[in-house]
Structure 1
């Protein structure tokens, strides 16, 4: 089986030219005028979470930060063989170490800016490629879970739950505790890291850089629900879409419906390298929807003439965009006012020179 890793075609990267300079004031004015009519659908990518100290996979040049990027594919992770078990041990050890920083990450100013626009129904649908749950965190104090599920679609799934090969779901924090109990030596290692204030380099999906480590002794616990059915089953994966795995028909259909129901499409912090996102852009264009892209660096849409692009970090402008769209209501509405005062700005270190080969999910 041959499965390719999604990326921006080299021909686009080679032909990419520096984007025209846009001042923050001009960017705010243009984005606000685009959003002001309302009924907007938003698609976000990894760039939206960078200010929450979560690294993007691709740098400002549009290429993977790690040129030796080697993902674990879905068929490898779920294979019911000794080879598959080895892949799972490698994945779950790295994820065990890398999940807590993603779990504990806080929404940034981009998340709260978009949350304010959602709360005021300027943005009616938000589709995110991110699996970190930060859009939910930014709204959790004002919307209940059903409301968030209705208005936020996690296109590539979520890290905060685990699904076994027989379909049983386990909360990720519960599963993390099960991994700790089954691997006390690695729990001790985590405690040492915490005491030293150190953390392995973590990627957007919770994977970490880990060199010179043997995975053979890492224990993956059986699914508790399967044990209750008198069945041993340690074939489990986070409820995210791995490379080579198809998005469910339900999620695909809903993503298309969200684009169809909007009047315009706003793309934030995404290179559109994955086809699941790029096809939504294509669908919007086919329906003659206006499209605005806010991203730093090359994207798969840079030579699509129907796409207007502004190249400036979202965190530098989105709060001012909300104020421009809502006017005096931005300060008069206490919920919006609080959101515009919230959000961290803590970008990870720049590491374009990261060349350590690693396998990720």
Structure 2
């Protein structure tokens, strides 16, 4: 069985960007696009970069983590000894990487988007991100977690829940504690890394690369599901509640995403290369329905050169606060909650390291 990592065609990666826009022009064009309202927004990993979470791809559109080789769905759920090895690799790396995702804070773009959601300009948000930061930003306007969940469609799921092979759901923080209890030596290692402030290079899915440390995965213990034990069966096959490479999104999520496109008047793409087909087909659906489409993204994307897509090569964090002020103030919306959101959020992108200079496509 061969499953490949989604990628941007080489022909697009080698194409030079032909146009740049000034900040003022970008703000003006995004404002005009959003002002009529009823916009569906699709976001990707680029939106969370200012929260300190690296995107998969750099400005040249190539993977920033050299030799990036994720675990695929069929490998993770394989119940043979080989599958157990894959799960040990996944959960050790995820155990070490999850704290950086858990502790990340929403950035200025997350809050700007939340302000537009609150004002009804963006009634539908589809995110490919699994970090939960859109939810955290919007939660200051919606005290009910259910209302927040209804306002945001997580196309690829979330890191914040874990599901065993029999469907038992666990909060990820609780599962993280289970992993700590089952692996006291790795808990000490993780505490030492945090204390030293060294950090580990974390991908948007919470995975970290640790091969350079000479670490073996076979000592990592994956705890059994306690609910399964209560049902008199042993089971330590767990999976984060997200879509892995080689796995399909659920029919419910697919239908909901299509409806979100169909019920909008226009579609905004932000911080995404659209390398995964589950996102790219939403763009195709929008264009088939003759929806106006605007894209805000740094570097090449799968949408480059697609007729009907207007692209601004600019970071959302550079423009979205000003855009929100223009859209809402020009429409007469004056609300203390909007002011609160526009004064919230960090801009703390990851510190550039040597790997950023040797970015390459995944094999």
Q: TM-score band (shorter)?
A: over 0.9
1:28 touches 1:318 (CA, 8 Å); kept in 2?
yes
| Unpaired runs of at least 5, structure 2 | none
What is the alpha-carbon distance in structure 2 between the residues aligned to residue 6 and residue 47 of structure 1? 16
1:183 touches 1:219 (CA, 8 Å); kept in 2?
yes
Greater Cα offset, 347-356 or 293-302: 347-356
Matching residue of 1:137: 136
Runs in 1 of length 4+ with deviation above 4 angstroms?
Answer: 328-331, 354-359
1:42 touches 1:265 (CA, 8 Å); kept in 2?
yes
The structural deviation recorded for 1:354 is 5.0
Provide the alpha-carbon RMSD of the alignment: 1.7
What is the alpha-carbon distance in structure 2 between the residues aligned to residue 46 and residue 30 of structure 1? 23
The structural deviation recorded for 1:330 is 7.8
Matching residue of 1:300: 302
Matched, 1:200 2:194: no
SS in 2 for 1:343: coil
Matching residue of 2:164: 164
1:54 touches 1:102 (CA, 8 Å); kept in 2?
yes
**1:126-184 residue CA offsets vs partner (Å, 9 max, x unmatched):** 00000000000001121121211221000000000001111110000000000000000
SS in 2 for 1:352: helix
1:68 touches 1:355 (CA, 8 Å); kept in 2?
no
Aligned CA distance change for structure 1 residues 199 and 130 (closer, same or farther; 3 Å): same
Matching residue of 2:81: 82
Matched, 1:236 2:238: yes
1:330 touches 1:336 (CA, 8 Å); kept in 2?
no
Q: Would you say how many aligned residue pairs link Structure 1 and Structure 2? A: 358
1:27 touches 1:317 (CA, 8 Å); kept in 2?
yes
**1:184-236 residue CA offsets vs partner (Å, 9 max, x unmatched):** 00111111112212211111100112021011111000112111111110000
SS in 2 for 1:136: helix
Matching residue of 1:28: 27
Matched, 1:353 2:339: no
What is the alpha-carbon distance in structure 2 between the residues aligned to residue 355 and residue 269 of structure 1? 18
Q: What aligned pairs does 1:1-361 form with structure 2 within 5 A after superposition? A: 1-14=1-14, 16-143=15-142, 144-211=144-211, 212-327=214-329, 332-350=334-352, 351-353=355-357
1:70 touches 1:357 (CA, 8 Å); kept in 2?
no
2:109 touches 2:320 (CA, 8 Å); kept in 1?
yes
TM-score (norm 2): 0.96
What is the alpha-carbon distance in structure 2 between the residues aligned to residue 358 and residue 188 of structure 1? 32
What is the alpha-carbon distance in structure 1 between the residues aligned to residue 114 and residue 185 of structure 2? 41
TM-score (norm 1): 0.96
What is the alpha-carbon distance in structure 2 between the residues aligned to residue 283 and residue 151 of structure 1? 21
